[in-house]
Amino acid sequence: MFERSIDSSGLAAALLADPAALIALVAPLADSTVAEAVARLKQEADRHWAINANRSLEIAELIIAIGRLRDDRCHSAMGMMARGDALKLLGRIEEGWQALGQAGDLFLQCGDEVGWARTRIGRVGISVDLNRVAEALADAEQARAILARHGMHEKRLVLDLNTAVVYGQLGEDRQALAQFHAALEIAISLGAAGQQWLGPLQTNIGLIYEALGDFRMASAYHERAHAFFAERDETSSLATTELNLARIAGAQGHYRRALDLLHGAHDRMVAEQMPIEAAHVSRQVVECYLLLNRYAEARDLAQQVIAAFRDFGLSYEEALSLLQLASAEAELGNSSAALAALDEAERVFAALDTPTWSATTRLRRGRIALRQGDIATARRESAAAAACFESAQQQVTYATASMLQGQAAFAGGDLAGAIRGAAAALRIARQANVPPLRYTSHLLLGRVAEASGDDTRAARRYRAAAATIERVQRSLTMTLRPGFLEDKGEALRALIGLYLRTGRPEQAFESLERTKSQVLLGHLANREQLRWAYDDPRSRALIDELNRLREEHQWFYRLAHQQPAGEESRPGAHTPEQALREVAGRERRMRAITEQLYLRGGERSAAGQASSPPLREIQRSIDDETLLIEFYNDGAQLWAFALDGARLTVHALPATVAEVDRLLAQLQLNFAAALGAGSAAPLTRTLAGVAQAILQRLYAGLLQPLAERMRGRRRLLVVPFGALHYLPIHLLHSGEEYLIERYEVVVLPAAGLATRRGPRRPSGALALAHSWDGRLPQTTAEARLVGGLFGGQVHCDDAARRAALQAAPTQILHIAAHGEHRLDQPDLSYIQLADGQLYADDLLQQDLSYELVTLSACETGRANVAAGDELIGLGRRVLYAGAGALVVSLWRVADDSTVALMEQLYRALRDGASKAAALRQAQCAAIQGARSLHPAFWGAFQLIGDPGPLSTDSLSMAEKEYEYDNIPATA
């Protein structure tokens, strides 16, 4: 009766719904009905491979229970095979291997050779990680014959697919490719039954073409696979395909696209509870970090990935990650740690008998040897690696080894060998479109040409190398660019050095400006691309998480640095040390989120790219009373370009780089001591004399050689380079007066900025003042001053919130508050407002296209100089957000003296003075009031950007309309 009421399909569904009812359901049924139900359950277990492997394992255990209940070895074998497949997907590969072995034995006991052959399919797939390749491949040959004999073509297809994967892992790519194409032919011949295998096969064929260096074919197959999985909504397979596309994007220099794909794939893997696949994605993120020169992050993440693969028992994957760890450690200067990682990886590859991966370890050893000056070892290891890669037809890795051969040859004085290595690498780099390899090839060929006395050829090679980097960096976000450019300045330095040595100052100047202006003007021309995509659901979720983390971060930051009274004694309170650990953890996550937000902000269109203006255009923007001085540091020698409307001269400066660095350090210590002692302290008067002596030495080394060019000028436009960004150049002292007493001094990040005029805005001001819990009482006075002179909106203390910055820009934005420059993390520099810290990244999310932005807060003008001479800090972010000009402080300023200086500045602006003249008048007034006053107390502020006057005539105070918001009654 019961048997007639339920068929095999219904039985399988009932068992899945209520496994506890197993005995009642199964005991009375006929063998044929149970066998059909078991087959359906096995199909259901297989279906969950890409959905939820834990569910596959649950179904496998149900099948095994049926086998035991019915005392049927065939059912038990089926369940044990399902268990093995599920276990390997869950990372428990040793258990999976054993389960598949037991399943095979049970099938043979049943006389089912096809069942045994099916268990060999899963074993092949995990044989590499368990170092049982020979056994697995031998079994696979027998299984292939069995499956062919019984017409089990689909199962044979899967066996061929897994076998090909193994050949690929062993570096036998041509054999793997042949095996994959054979499997693809079977899939096509099966018609509809073979359709499900097209995506996996296309994915794996793409991987092999990638290993062979044919990125065009690899991308084509991965794109086909992506479309296949997207149509079927197979989330985990989509994530794997995105991982593969990201790897190719990274290899071809598309780092922004690569990281965006990787973050998306990782999110999918985590959501689908696929820890092994998530670890694979993280390993590719490590590779991107290595390519972007973010070696500390690469090392830390590689260590996490290694630990994960070790826990999963995946020794092969662990060894691949050890290679990455070795690269990171080597770049960080930890050669012993790098070699130890290579030793560990090499033992795994040797045991697996994988010649190409063993060759990869030799290539990495060769790099370390060259860095250590061991040229013979570098040449030996690179030659052995190149021979292996050439034999395996792995083009890109062969090119990489050839490049190292060329570099080692050049280091040993073998110019012909250097040319051979670099030329071979360049040919393949062009074919495969691998920008880093193209860059190093052109650079080496340029060095060889210069060493051979062929300056024309050398310049052409250096220009080609620099152009390669320019093309890549255009698509990078500001979070990615500094690291990427860290080791890409050699070609530019070599080119500028060649032009200076051969008496071509115009070409040297334009080459220097090309990099500095391109980044700056590119950001200014594409400000919308710097804004986060608030309308994107994923970005919105990230922003919500970021805001929560910032609130927690601010709380712990205050605990760490300003422990509230009685906090330590409160039960459960954090100590400053514990709070610092909490801060560090949140800062890591905050930086990761902001990077993802920039990645998701959209690619900058090619049409929006800004080119650096030519020399003649810059000259046309300079009037007769102005001289532009641009500094350059080639690593040893300091240079100054002096430019006016008529001519350009270049000057080798007498000050050495080491001497300037030493004087800057002394000056910073002197200023810190003076500010700590106070303006009236006797020590401060002594320090003022010492400071003046230091400033005189800096003047003599940096500006005295330009005295003739500076004579008769009214204004100096100064473009710093490197450490000179930290120099208050307006304070340099001639022995008779400070530079600001003789000239208006304006700082420009790049000479190209001289060609741009600031925006024209309606008259009025927006002033925000936050007294930082009463510690800066004069901030309100500053805000009232600006509002009184120019009208507009004034928001003080509780009303000084970030939302106020959403107002339409007028002439002036004035923010008077506490600020802090984070030397360790410049992106986390901030200005303290009532509703939290206004970070550098927050500034980019606002329209700050005011004619003048004044950040009257401590250290707002400080910044970190990154590669490419790009500054990271609050001031540069304000410029990127559209400000025409910027007044910022270089160090912590006294609250009371700042009010007096700001009053002088704004009254001069109201009366029609230019911004440059107004700041000069304000600082000169401070000097005249107390000639002996230490410059630390009046010279903190500098002007960056457009030096001209405000665009409209200011009205008298009586004619202004202004509104104060939440000003304390005592103000």
pLDDT digits (tens, 9 = 90+) for 670-686: 999 998 898 889 999 99
Lookup: tokens for 530 = 């710097």
Q: What is the rounded radius of gyration, in angstroms, for the C-alpha atoms of the chain?
A: 34
What pLDDT score does 934 carry? Answer: 93
**Nearest 5°: phi and psi at 749?**
-65, -30
pTM: 0.80
> Which DSSP string corresponds to 905-935?
HHHHHHTT--HHHHHHHHHHHHHHH-TTS-G
Helix intervals (H) in 190-234: 198-211, 215-232
Instruction: State the Cα–Cα distance between residues 262 and 774, nearest whole angstrom.
Output: 47
Q: What secondary structure letter does DSSP report for 863?
A: -
Exposure b/e, 600-626, CB count within 10 A at least 16 = b = bbeebeeeeebebbebeebbebbeeeb
Our CA angle for 451, 483, 418, nearest 5°, is 25
| Dist CA 365 CA 330 (whole Å) | 10
How high is the pLDDT of residue 617? 94
pLDDT score at 10: 65
φ and ψ at residue 712, rounded to 5 degrees:
85, 0
Q: What is the DSSP letter of 603?
A: P
Instruction: Say what the pLDDT of residue 606 is.
Output: 40
Pairing between β-strand 812-816 and β-strand 852-856 as defined by DSSP bridges: parallel
Separation in Å, CA 704 to CA 699, 709, 909: 6, 10, 31
Distances in Å between the alpha carbon of 87 and those of 56, 96, 97?
9, 5, 9
Contact 642, 648 (CB under 8 A): yes
Cα separation, 475 vs 860, in Å, equals 28
The DSSP bridge partners found for residue 886 are 853, 944
Alpha-carbon distance of 813 to 843, in angstroms, equals 12
Name the residue with tokens 């080894």.
Answer: 401
pLDDT digits (tens, 9 = 90+) for 939-953: 999 999 999 999 975
Q: pLDDT value at position 68?
A: 85
Q: What backbone torsions phi and psi does residue 762 show, to the nearest 5 degrees?
A: -60, 150
Predicted pLDDT of residue 477: 80
Pick from 483, 887, 157, 360: nearest CA to 140: 157
- The segments of the chain whose pLDDT lies below 50 read 1-5, 565, 568-569, 571, 603-608, 954-959, 967-971
d(CA 781, CA 787): 10
Q: Which residue has the tokens 């660019």?
A: 481
Within its chain, how far is the Cα of 289 from the centroid?
7
Q: How many residues does the chain have?
A: 971
- pLDDT tens column, 109-121: 999 999 999 999 9
Q: What is the DSSP string of 431-471?
A: HHT-HHHHHHHHHHHHHHHHHTT-HHHHHHHHHHHHHHHHH
840 token code pair: 């550098």
